[in-house]
């Protein structure tokens, strides 16, 4: 009984405090367009991506995220274009987000490009109160009702400096804060502004082995600072293996395989380092990326990013 009450309180706290924040990914480096629109077209290929993430397996109502995207450079121009879709389910909430991204790149040296991006987003939010434990939820306000297909628009932007070996990006995917179930007394969920900083560098250890350390820092008002530190090794441009640590939250393992010139598959596993570890068996991520390359089907940048 005490465990059920704890889990109900935990899930309600997740909905109230963290719902409507940007979805979380361990392998963000393969789908950077979700957090930085300036990434669109930066790989020099049409890139199609799909991911499924199941978080905190074994915990009822835990987050489940599905995402799909496509981005490409536009021929004979400095422009890149991207479109993405995210479905994020957490407990009683179900959120669908569709985004369009446009980037413009400037060659600032022989090695580096600086890209600027803008993002336009349409969000549809649903809340099913029947999925909350009445003994825990309804004492807050018995009059609270479902939310059905509530639509909110948003805009964002980003900057992305990159070469064949390194990248640094700063972005704010959503500039507009919005409240769910806002009657001036209760707010079920608030979409806060998310600030991102990403960086990474590829070291050629030998002709067959590359190593890329990377970092993602995410700041959201009212939430702890999130820092993801990762290190990945790539063998013979085919097989990738690595570890990641989410500060005070989780330890992750990642593997990936370049099936063909165009197809790459990857898997990630997270294990919580908090008390949540006692109530779930970890989080799983699997993704598929397919690219149509230019320049005689050869991509010139490392497949890390």
- Mean of the pLDDT values across residues 6-31? 62
For residue 278, give every residue at least 6 positions away whose Cβ sits within 8 Å of its Cβ, in sequence order, or none. Answer: none
Beta bridge partners of residue 176, listed in sequence order = none
Delimit the domains of the chain by residue range.
24-131+146-180+191-292
- Mean of the pLDDT values across residues 266-291? 94
Whole-model pTM: value is: 0.85
CATH class for the domain made up of 24-131+146-180+191-292: mainly beta
pLDDT at 61 over 90: no
Instruction: Encode pLDDT of 204-246 as tens digits.
Output: 999 999 999 999 999 987 778 899 999 999 999 999 999 999 9
Instruction: Encode pLDDT of 77-118 as tens digits.
Output: 899 999 999 999 998 889 999 999 999 999 999 999 999 999
Q: Is 110 exposed, middle or buried (0-12, 13-18, 19+ CB in 10 A)?
A: exposed
- The tokens describing 13, both together, are 């706290």
């Amino acid at each position: 009984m005490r465990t059920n009450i704890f889990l109900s309180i935990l899930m309600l706290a997740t909905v109230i405090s963290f719902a409507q924040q940007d979805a979380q990914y361990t392998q963000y480096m393969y789908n950077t367009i979700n957090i930085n629109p300036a990434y669109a077209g930066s790989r020099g290929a049409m890139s199609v991506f799909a991911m499924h993430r199941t978080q905190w397996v074994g915990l009822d109502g835990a987050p489940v995220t599905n995402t799909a995207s496509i981005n490409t450079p536009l021929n004979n121009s400095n422009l890149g274009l991207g479109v993405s879709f995210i479905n994020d389910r957490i407990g009683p909430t179900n959120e669908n987000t569709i985004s369009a991204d446009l980037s413009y790149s400037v060659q600032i040296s022989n090695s580096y490009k600086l890209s600027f991006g803008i993002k336009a987003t349409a969000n549809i939010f649903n809340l099913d109160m029947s999925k909350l434990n009445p003994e825990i939820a309804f004492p807050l306000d018995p009059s609270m009702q479902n939310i059905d297909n509530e639509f909110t628009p948003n805009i964002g932007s980003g900057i992305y400096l990159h070469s064949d070996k390194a990248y640094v990006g700063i972005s704010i995917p959503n500039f507009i804060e919005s409240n769910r179930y806002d009657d001036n007394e209760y707010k079920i969920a608030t979409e806060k502004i998310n600030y991102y900083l990403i960086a990474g560098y590829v070291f050629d250890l030998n002709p067959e082995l590359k190593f890329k350390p990377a970092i993602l820092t995410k700041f959201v008002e009212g939430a702890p600072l999130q820092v993801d530190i990762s290190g990945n090794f790539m063998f013979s441009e085919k097989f990738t293996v690595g570890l990641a640590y989410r500060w005070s939250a989780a330890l992750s393992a990642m593997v990936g395989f370049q099936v063909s010139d165009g197809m790459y598959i990857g898997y990630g596993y997270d294990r919580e380092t908090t008390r949540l570890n006692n109530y779930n068996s970890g989080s799983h991520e699997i993704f598929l990326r397919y690219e149509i390359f230019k320049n005689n089907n050869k991509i010139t940048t490392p497949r890390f990013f």
